[in-house]
Amino acid sequence: TNHFTQEKIKTLDKAGVLHRTKTVDKGKRLRKKHWSASWTVLEGGVLTFFKDSKASAAGGLRQPYKLSTPEYTVELKGASLAWAPKDKSSKKHVLELRSRDGSEYLIQHDSEAIISTWHKAIAQAIQELSAD
Q: What's the closest the beta carbon of residue 119 comes to ligand I3S, in angstroms?
A: 18
Task: Tell me the C-alpha distance between 10 and 4, whole Å.
Answer: 10
**How would you classify the pairing of strands 104-108 and 28-29?**
unpaired
C-alpha torsion sign, points 59, 94, 96, 122? negative
Query: Under rule CB under 6 A, how many of the chain's residues touch ligand I3S?
Result: 6
Judged by CB under 6 A, which of 51, 77, 91, 119 binds ligand I3S?
A: 91
With respect to ligand I3S, which residue has the nearer C-beta, 54 or 86? 86
With respect to ligand I3S, which residue has the nearer C-beta, 35 or 100? 35
Q: What is the DSSP letter of 30?
A: P
Q: Tell me the CA end-to-end span of the chain in Å, nearest whole number.
A: 5
Judged by CB under 6 A, which of 3, 31, 32, 54 binds ligand I3S?
A: 32
* Residues found near ligand I3S in the complex (CB under 6 A): 32-33, 35, 89-91
